[in-house]
Structure 1
Amino acid sequence: MYVTFSMEQQPFSYTPFFKVPRKILTNAPNIRRFPSSANLFREGDKAEHVYEVKSGVLRLARVLANGRRQVIAFGLPGDIVGFPNGDFYHTDCDVVSSAEVIAHRLSELESAKGDFETQHRLMQAALREISSMQDHVMMLACKSAMEKVASFLCVLSLRTGTPSSNYTDFSLPMCRADIADFLGLTIETVCRMFSLLRKEGTIALNTPQTVVVLDMEALIDASQSD
C-alpha cells in the first residue's frame, strides 16, 4: 500500500476503487500463516519468494545508516510484496497484524515451470509498484503534514473500510510510529493531525486502533490542502 491517489485528477466516488478485485489462488500449495511481529525476510536475505497477501497487514521497512527507520510500504490483502533487488531483498518485511500469505517461488516464476497467469499477475503487480513508489515519493516531497495523514486515512478507508449507515469504519493495525515513518513525519505531528481531524468532526476514534470516518468529503478536502 502506498498513498498514491490524486483527488485533483480523479473525481471522488463512494465506490471503493482501491478494492479492485485481484484473483488470489486460494488453492495454492504454499500458503503460510504468520503471527503479529513475525518476520518474513530481512534486507540482504537471498530472495527466494514473493508473497501474495491474503489477510492481515505486512510492513516493509529499511533502517538507514544513521539508525533512522523508513517504512517503505504496507502490504494489505491483494498486495504482493518481496520483489527483490537483483538476488536479494532490499527491505525488511514484518507482520503488523497476523497474516496469511501465498509464497510464490521466484525460481518457478522465472522458468517454464511457472504458471503463465500467475507470472502475468506478478509482472503487473511489479509495474504497479514502480508507479506507486514514484507517486509516493512525490507525496512525501510535496504534501503538507495534514495532507499526508488525511491521504493515508483515505486510502485505508477505501481499501479496508466497512460502510455503516453514513459512516465508514476501519482498523488501524499499524502504530503511530509506523505511520510517522511511512509519511516522513514525527509521531507528535501524526498525533496532532489526528487530534485536529477529531476536533473538526472529520473522524472519530472508537479506540486508538479503530477509525470512524464521519465526513469523507472533509477528509478528502484535508488530503488536498490545509
Structure 2
Amino acid sequence: MYITLSAEERPMPAVLGGDERARKSLTTRLPQGKYLYREGDVVERIYQVMTGVVRLTRMLENGRRQVIAFGYPGDIIGFPANGCHHADCDALVDTTLRAYRRAALDHGDGDPELHTALLQAALGEISAMQDHVMMLGLKSAAEKVASFLDVLTRRYGEDLGAYRQIELPMSRSDIADFLGLTTETVSRAVTALRKAGVISLDGAQMIIVLKPDTLAELSQGED
C-alpha cells in the first residue's frame, strides 16, 4: 500500500490462497465510489484486495484530508487500532476483496497459517509506514512524485513494447494528499518529467515511462 520504495526492496504481498482458506472467507464487491468502512467503525473483518484499487483517507483536525495509502491487489487492509478502523476506505474503481473474520488475526480462528500471514502483513504495514514518513520528510517534491510513479509502474504497470505504462485510478489531488504536496506541485512535477522525455501522457491518467532508469535515478535525487 505504501508505494515509496522500489518493488525490489518491498515485494508485493502474496495472495492468501488455498481452497480451505477461501471457504472461510467472504468475497466482497465494492463499486467505484462506495465506502467499505469509515474511520471509527468497529473492525469486524480484515480484507485483502483481489482486483481494483481502494483509497484510505483521514480528515485532519484542520479540515484537510490526508491520503494514508492506496490498496492494490495483494494488499491487506483494515487492521484495527484499538479495535476500530483508523481511516475511511473507498473504492477508486470497481473492486473485489476477500474478507476474513477479525478472529483470524486475534487468535488464529482455527487457522494458524492465516494468523501468521496476517501478523506478518500487519508488521509489514508498520515498516512501510515508517518508510513513508521518512520519504515525506527527506525527499524533495520532484523526488516524491518520481518515487510514486516509479514504484507504481514497476509493481502494477503493463509492458508496452520497450516501455511500461499504467493508468492511474487516482487523481492529481489524491497523489498530492498522499505525498504531502499541493495539486499544483504534483502537476508541475509530472509536466517536468514529460518535458524531459522521461514519461509521456496518453490523456490525463495514462502514464508511459519512456526512461525507467532515469525515473529511478530521479526518485533517489541523483543528478
Task: Name the residue aligned to 1:181.
Answer: 177
Cα distance change, pair 210–114 in 1 and its aligned pair in 2 (3 A)? farther
Task: Name the residue aligned to 1:94.
Answer: 90
Q: Secondary structure at the match of 2:58?
A: strand
Cα distance between partner residues in 1 of 2:217 and 2:104: 46
Cα distance between partner residues in 2 of 1:198 and 1:112: 49
Which amino acid letter does the alignment assign opposite residue 15 of structure 2? K
Q: Report the CA distance between 1:56 and its aligned residue.
A: 0.6
Q: Report the CA distance between 1:20 and its aligned residue.
A: 4.2
Cα distance change, pair 146–87 in 1 and its aligned pair in 2 (3 A)? same
Could you list the per-position Cα deviations for residues 87-134 of structure 1 after superposition, in whole angstroms to 9, with x for gaps in the alignment? 111111111111110011102442353422211111110011000000
Cα distance between partner residues in 1 of 2:18 and 2:93: 20
Which amino acid letter does the alignment assign opposite residue 180 of structure 1? A
Task: Name the residue aligned to 1:128.
Answer: 124
Could you list the per-position Cα deviations for residues 161-218 of structure 1 after superposition, in whole angstroms to 9, with x for gaps in the alignment? 1122210011100011100000000000000000000000001111211110000011
Cα distance between partner residues in 2 of 1:21 and 1:112: 19
Q: Secondary structure at the match of 2:145?
A: helix
Task: Name the residue aligned to 1:172.
Answer: 168
Provide TM-score, normalisation by structure 1.
0.91
Task: Name the residue aligned to 2:54.
Answer: 58
Provide TM-score, normalisation by structure 2.
0.92
Task: Name the residue aligned to 2:155.
Answer: 159
C-alpha RMSD over aligned residues: 1.6
Task: Name the residue aligned to 2:189.
Answer: 193
1:80 aligns with 2:76: yes
Q: Please tell me whether the aligned partners of residues 109 and 115 of structure 1 are also in contact (alpha carbons under 8 angstroms).
A: no
Q: Report the CA distance between 1:21 and its aligned residue.
A: 6.2
Percent identical pairs in the alignment equals 51
Cα distance change, pair 147–43 in 1 and its aligned pair in 2 (3 A)? same
Task: Name the residue aligned to 1:110.
Answer: 106
Cα distance change, pair 103–152 in 1 and its aligned pair in 2 (3 A)? same
Which amino acid letter does the alignment assign opposite residue 78 of structure 1? G
Q: Please tell me whether the aligned partners of residues 19 and 158 of structure 1 are also in contact (alpha carbons under 8 angstroms).
A: no
Cα distance between partner residues in 2 of 1:218 and 1:158: 13
Count of aligned pairs:
217
Runs of 5+ unmatched residues, structure 2? none
Moved over 3 A (4+): 16-21
Cα distance change, pair 169–26 in 1 and its aligned pair in 2 (3 A)? farther
Cα distance between partner residues in 2 of 1:173 and 1:157: 13
Cα distance change, pair 21–90 in 1 and its aligned pair in 2 (3 A)? closer
Task: Name the residue aligned to 1:119.
Answer: 115
Runs of 5+ unmatched residues, structure 1? 7-15
Cα distance change, pair 26–117 in 1 and its aligned pair in 2 (3 A)? closer
